[in-house]
Structure 1
Amino acid sequence: MQRDHETLTRRDGLKWVGAVGLSAIAGLPARAEEAWPSKPIRWIQPFAPGGTSSIVARVIANEITKQTGAAFVIENKGGGGGVPAMQELLRAPADGYSFIMSHIGLLAVNPLIYPDAGYDVNKDFVPVTLVNRLPSLFVVHKDVPATDIKSFLAYAKTRSGLLNYASAGNASAGHLAIEALKLATGLSIMHVPYRGTGPALNDVLAGRCELFSAGTPALLPHIQSGALRCIGVGSPKRISALPDVPAIAELYPGFETEQWYGIHARAGTPRNIILRMQKEVAKALNAPEVVARHESESATPGGGSPEDFGRFVRQQQVRWKEVVLKAGIKAE
């Protein structure tokens, strides 16, 4: 009888140890989620420093660093239409410590003009969240004799083939905005691509290019200083940041173009980290400093679910395919 009692006790003990082991294993994902982030997070930017994407990234990164205590490192990798930046993310581990600033060019245009990039934007990357949407501004150097889109078109007609417009690069939001403007108005103007908004803006400010389009964060200070003149906005209606500047849709009904920025990760990144990152961005967008900045720049904040952002991206892919094909945008 004593032996049977000892055997039963030993068996019960083994069961208990097994139950504890299984319980510990089951608890690992929860503890792993709580531990993230435990080291710096890379946020790859597909443009050179100084542009709208860098400004947006810096504001959000600062807030997320405050919230999580982990450094949110902005890594600029410009050039190549953003393809090298996407390839860089694809080489990184899918561990939730590398993300990319996604935008219209990377996701809606590059699949059409860089078919041999070595990745599929809809299979090899996953959406995290939309960060914000910004009205496109169309600006000219202060010495260009035009005060609105109508007078600029008249000016351009007298100089057909002689005017240039700068962009942050092939397939950038500014490139698409002006190509859409050309399709809507018949404007004749040459494209000069740069490796980011910063370098392009420098040449526009120097008067080397007559026309430029970018978002409010990069352009408002130069408009307010008088160095640049805004001749139109791409939103359907006038914006509060520039109430006296007409929307291009006032002259060409239905015209609309905007910039937008979001966050994507490598496919295979743990779902719990994707959702945690989305929550951190949503929280950052509600910070008083970020809310005030968005209001001053007439920006629309994002912060929605990965699924919401995924649907938005698919809509943008359909929307801009027509512009890319009609304008004949090619890889450069």
Structure 2
Amino acid sequence: MSRRTALQAGVSAVAGSWLGTAPSLAQASKAFPTRAIKLVVAFPAGGPTDLTMRQLAENASKVLGQPVIVENRPGASGSLPAAQLQSTQADGYTLAQLPMSVMRLPFTTGLKWNPVEDLSYILNVTGYAFCMVASTQSGLKSWQDVVAWAKAHPGKLTIGNTGTYTSPHVTSAIIAQQLGLEVVHVPYKGSAELMRATMSGEVMVAADTSAVIPYVDQGRMVALNVWTEKRLPTLPKTPTLIELGLPTTQYSPFGLVAPKGLPKDVQARLHDAFKQAMEMESYQAMLQRFEMLPIYMDSARYKQFAQESTVKEKAALAKLGPQA
């Protein structure tokens, strides 16, 4: 069984905008695209999200007949690309990657726009499973070791994540709350930075995506738990949170959005082009490299999923309270 097939089997559970003038957008959409498209990514260059999105952009360029150029805007819990769209013309020439963390921001910040209603949803492209890992140099060999150490040293356990109010941050905070642990949550700007910090001993534990599995395969990290409903075949010896007595699961699809008011024909053109790009072997291979899954949702289903996610995240944050 291939690594990708195995991972798929293990993750089965799976405001105001610039509208422009209607006539000019209608005219522009007829020949769309006639120039390069910018795709703004919410994470730093060189990490798994960036690399997979660059491959997707390269593939989409071939379908669209125009370059799709990636621009990185990390920080602010992954919200900067979508926030940029709030003052961008809705003509299809600027797109953004939309992390799940953006769905939490209406409940954690003074966000002035609505992530569900103030964006045009194009399609969902992929997603991560999550896990916790520690450096093999840390001396921690299991999740039980981590819990025992944290209880013996209240407030000393450091758990790194990929940004404040990202899924790794919020879920690890929920886990600590469930266990009654005092921990320090340390945000980083992406997986690459977090892995460097974990291997250097800057943090003891990292909460990250399944993209860290290659570090485990190389013997540089030890996997402590996974956040899927069932064990990952790629980490068959690593227990789920449910097995560890914690009623928690988490996974994080993400996709592409455009400014509110995107013409329907442009939305359809972008959807079809990026769907073709998803199906290309080069993109599938890049996902496999980082233990990521192709998770397709069309425009309507993706927007519905976003709406459902805001309800779920609001409930989770309410339960967590100020500890996040």
Same topology, TM > 0.5: yes
Distance 1:76 1:249 in 2: 35
Distance 1:330 1:274 in 2: 40
**Amino acid of the residue matched to residue 101 of structure 2?**
G
What do the CA deviations read for 1:23-77 (whole angstroms, capped 9, x no partner)?
xxxxx99995563222111111223223342133122112212322321111111
Aligned to 1:303: 296
Unpaired runs of at least 5, structure 1: 1-27
Distance 1:299 1:53 in 2: 9
CA distance 1:292–1:84, change in 2 (3 Å): closer
Aligned to 1:193: 187
CA distance 1:329–1:66, change in 2 (3 Å): farther
Distance 2:204 2:157 in 1: 6
Do residues 172 (structure 1) and 157 (structure 2) align? no
CA distance 1:59–1:76, change in 2 (3 Å): same
Q: How many correspondences in the alignment?
A: 301
How far is the alpha carbon of 1:143 from its aligned partner? 2.1
How far is the alpha carbon of 1:191 from its aligned partner? 1.0
How far is the alpha carbon of 1:233 from its aligned partner? 1.0
How far is the alpha carbon of 1:119 from its aligned partner? 1.7
- Correspondence for 2:92 among 91, 96, 104: 96
- Correspondence for 1:280 among 244, 259, 273: 273
Distance 1:239 1:293 in 2: 19
How far is the alpha carbon of 1:94 from its aligned partner? 0.7
Do residues 61 (structure 1) and 57 (structure 2) align? yes
**Amino acid of the residue matched to residue 77 of structure 2?**
G
Aligned to 1:79: 75
Aligned to 2:16: none
Aligned to 2:112: 118
**Amino acid of the residue matched to residue 270 of structure 1?**
P
What do the CA deviations read for 1:268-326 (whole angstroms, capped 9, x no partner)?
11111112222222212221233344456553322321111111112221222222223
Distance 1:154 1:244 in 2: 20
Unpaired runs of at least 5, structure 2: 1-23
- Correspondence for 1:150 among 125, 128, 144: 144
Do residues 236 (structure 1) and 229 (structure 2) align? yes
Aligned to 1:210: 204
Moved over 4 A (4+): 28-34, 295-298
Superposition RMSD in Å: 2.4
- DSSP 3-state at the match of 2:196: helix
- DSSP 3-state at the match of 1:302: strand
Q: Percent identity?
A: 21
Larger Rg: 1
Aligned to 2:308: 315
Do residues 255 (structure 1) and 251 (structure 2) align? no
Indicate conservation of the 8 Å contact 1:145/1:152, yes or no: no
